[in-house]
Structure 1
């Protein structure tokens, strides 16, 4: 845990939260600046700024807890969002997954999807490069 991290302080109980779930590895709570009713955060207790900073074994419960939240909120349409880095819209430097119900066009997450034209030869090169590192 990082002493100055707001999410670490929430996990420790130093800052109050609307805790929805807690286990040895995971903590889930309502977002205090929600995009919609039921917007919640699921975080690993292990402190790390980006997804690549978190050991795999500390991530094993994340998606099952997200699923529990979806069922508990009754969300039929929802987004699961995890941002890494400032230009990718990360505000708190502790890995967190948003579960954001999307009840209608106005509430919840609104995103753009700026698709790019694909050059198949370049895509094949990229595929080979990435696959060789997996």
Structure 2
């Protein structure tokens, strides 16, 4: 895709600091460096995001993730890591070429905040949602 920054990085038209590359994926340091070592893992095939990804592309991409995450953790000395994938603008996707963020975490007051709210579950509502999702998976 001609105007895709990640396709241009993959093609070598834009410089990057590569940490891993094979025939199907590329991992490189994010220029924003949210934390030291912030890395992006992308498929070389242009695909908008996980929602549009084939099972084969997903299997290939996600198969590389554990080894990359372990290497990043060891290289940076980070005790923890967020592995994040945003799909579509509302969810925070800003580059519309599928990618996974690996964000090393060094301490709990690093300014990065990912919060999940907890409350008493409504199992009737959850059960209906689970049935609806299951129907979609089977269709």
TM over 0.5, shorter chain: yes
Establish whether residue 96 from structure 1 lines up as the match of residue 95 from structure 2: no
Deviation (angstroms), 1:92: 0.4
1:24 match: 23
Establish whether residue 14 from structure 1 lines up as the match of residue 16 from structure 2: no
2:65 match: 63
Q: Is the 8 A contact 1:100 1:108 kept in 2?
A: no
Deviation (angstroms), 1:132: 2.4
Q: In the aligned structure 2, how far is the partner of 1:91 from the partner of 1:102? A: 22
Q: In 2 relative to 1, CA 53–66 (structure 1 residues): closer, same or farther, beyond 3 Å?
A: farther
Establish whether residue 81 from structure 1 lines up as the match of residue 84 from structure 2: yes
For structure 1, list consecutive stretches of 5 or more residues without a partner in the other structure: none
Deviation (angstroms), 1:117: 4.9
For structure 2, list consecutive stretches of 5 or more residues without a partner in the other structure: none
Q: Is the 8 A contact 2:82 2:102 kept in 1?
A: yes
Find runs of 4+ consecutive structure 1 residues off by over 4 angstroms.
none
Provide the aligned C-alpha RMSD in A.
Answer: 1.8
After the TM superposition, which of the residue ranges 68-77 and 123-132 deviates more from structure 2? 68-77
Instruction: Give matches, 1:29-44, under 5 Å.
Output: 29-44=28-43
Establish whether residue 126 from structure 1 lines up as the match of residue 129 from structure 2: yes
Deviation (angstroms), 1:25: 0.8
TM-score by length of 2: 0.85
Q: In 2 relative to 1, CA 19–25 (structure 1 residues): closer, same or farther, beyond 3 Å?
A: same
Q: Is the 8 A contact 2:73 2:80 kept in 1?
A: no
SS in 2 for 1:133: helix
TM-score by length of 1: 0.88
Between Structure 1 and Structure 2, how many residues are aligned? 133
